[in-house]
């Protein structure tokens, strides 16, 4: 593929690195491939070889001194690139994160106003307008029970959402996009519904659905965290204390109508630290990908991430 050379050394004057999933499908991915030749000599494009590779490539580019590192993909690719920057000494201070949205939903692009068309997204990167946003962090148990630290760009969660992601048929996702999550969510609604213990600001709740966000949006432009801002140093917390089809429908209606607030079955809060635990094995998702299991502690670093936005 033109412009892609994973082993090529960093050349003087090459200041923009782009990390791209070559297996990405859809119109946005096809547009990106078609325009690779237009990117110019000051751009280096690297393909990923599988899950987790974008993180390694981002760390390599950050260590080589690239000023701008771009995630060309969905929110999962953005998450991996972010973590590659964060794990590189001085990476967050030296590098700006840019995004060319190619994924199914692209929540981060919607949150920051980054356009989905290739030319408009590329013009945002070329303009170089920088914004400092908050950087959420999760400490959790990995597959071996060891404590791991990882960053997320927007969202984290456990309970129904994480259990639904665990059931996603990835071939179905390639064919039908977000509908694959709807089907997986229906499967996750089968009992039992284990409850997660959620602790923040001296309070404790037990909930079968818990989502945490740095911005407003979830699953597209659905406002699950009302009043959230990317620079206020707080995490939005939304949890459902009782999980039935009726309570889930009521929650969905309130989200769609942008009338979500605390009531008898829903808790909506803003805080700086959230602890999650569960007596039974419970997966944790970050930006829509499963990364480990509870217990987990979620915190936030205010205005610690440099991003390019319109």
Give CA angle at 307 (155, 89), nearest 5°. Answer: 90
- Taking only the tens place, the pLDDT of each residue in 147-189 is 899 999 999 999 998 888 887 776 666 676 667 777 777 888 8
What's the CA gap between 21 and 280, in Å, rounded? Answer: 35
Omega into 192 within 30° of 0, i.e. cis?
A: yes
Which H or E element spans position 236?
Answer: strand 235-240
- Name residue, tokens 């709807």: 182
Question: Mind listing the domains of the chain with CATH numbers?
Answer: 16-128 (3.40.50.10330), 136-303 (2.60.200.40)
Q: What is the pLDDT of residue 23?
A: 67
The rounded percent of the chain whose pLDDT value lies above 90 is: 63
Question: Quick one: how far is CA 296 from the chain centroid?
Answer: 17
Distances, alpha carbon 96 to alpha carbons 7, 130, 192, in Å? 22, 8, 44
Question: Distance (Å, rounded) from C-alpha 20 to C-alpha 28?
Answer: 12
Question: CB 229: neighbour CB atoms within 10 A?
Answer: 15
Q: Which of 13, 1, 16 is nearest to 70 (CA)?
A: 16
- What sections of 65-217 are H helices per DSSP? 75-86, 91-94, 107-112, 118-127, 160-166, 170-176, 179-188
pLDDT digit string (tens) for 80-105?
Answer: 999 999 999 999 999 999 999 987 77
Helix 27-34 crosses helix 118-127 at what angle (to 10 degrees)?
60
Q: Do residues 97 and 308 lie in contact, with contact meaning Cβ atoms separated by under 8 Å? A: yes
**Weakest-pLDDT range from 8-17, 36-45, 298-307:** 8-17
Place of tokens 């998702």: 285
Structure tokens belonging to residue 1: 């593929």
Average pLDDT score over residue span 23-49: 75
- pLDDT for res 178: 67
- Separation CA 55–CA 70 (nearest Å): 12
pLDDT at position 265: 94
Locus of tokens 């973590």: 83
Q: Output the pTM of the full model.
A: 0.86
Q: Concatenated DSSP letters for 245-285?
A: HHHHHHHHHHHHTT-----SSEEEEEES-EEEE-SS--EEE
Q: Is the pLDDT of residue 50 over 90?
A: no
Sorted by sequence, the CB contacts under 8 Å of residue 118 that are 6+ apart come out as: 28, 31, 32, 35, 100
Give the confidence band of 8 by pLDDT, cuts at 50, 70, 90.
Answer: very low
Task: Give me the long-range contacts of 86-90 (CB less than 8 A, separation at least 24).
Answer: 86/135, 86/151, 87/55, 87/59, 88/58, 88/59, 88/62, 88/63
Percent of the chain with pLDDT over 70: 90
């Amino acid at each position: 593929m033109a412009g892609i050379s994973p082993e090529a050394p960093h050349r003087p004057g090459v200041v923009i690195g782009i990390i791209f999933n070559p297996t990405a499908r859809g119109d946005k991915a096809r547009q990106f491939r078609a325009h690779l030749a237009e990117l110019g000599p000051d751009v280096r494009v690297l393909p990923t070889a599988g899950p987790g590779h974008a993180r390694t490539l981002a760390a390599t580019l950050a260590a080589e001194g690239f000023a701008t590192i771009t995630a060309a993909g969905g929110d999962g690719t953005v998450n991996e690139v972010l973590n590659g920057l964060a794990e590189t000494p001085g990476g967050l201070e030296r590098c700006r994160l840019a995004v060319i949205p190619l994924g199914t939903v692209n929540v981060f692009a919607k949150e920051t106003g980054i356009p989905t068309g290739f030319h408009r997204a590329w013009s945002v990167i070329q303009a170089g307008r920088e914004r400092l946003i908050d950087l959420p962090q999760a400490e959790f148990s990995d597959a071996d029970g060891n404590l791991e630290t990882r960053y997320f760009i927007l969202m984290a969660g456990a309970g129904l959402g994480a259990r639904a992601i665990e059931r996603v048929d990835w071939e179905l996702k390639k064919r039908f996009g977000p509908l694959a999550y709807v089907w997986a969510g229906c499967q996750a609604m089968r009992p039992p519904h284990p409850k997660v213990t959620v602790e923040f600001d001296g309070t404790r709740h037990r909930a079968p659905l818990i989502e945490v966000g740095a911005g407003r949006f979830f699953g597209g432009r659905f406002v699950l965290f009302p009043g959230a801002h990317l620079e206020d140093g707080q995490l939005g917390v939304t949890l459902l204390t009782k999980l039935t089809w009726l309570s889930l429908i009521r929650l969905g209606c309130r989200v769609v109508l942008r009338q979500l607030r605390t009531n008898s079955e829903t808790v909506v809060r803003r805080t700086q630290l959230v602890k999650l635990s569960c007596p039974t094995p419970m997966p944790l998702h970050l930006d829509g990908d499963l990364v480990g299991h509870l217990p987990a502690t979620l915190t936030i670093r205010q205005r610690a991430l440099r991003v390019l936005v319109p």
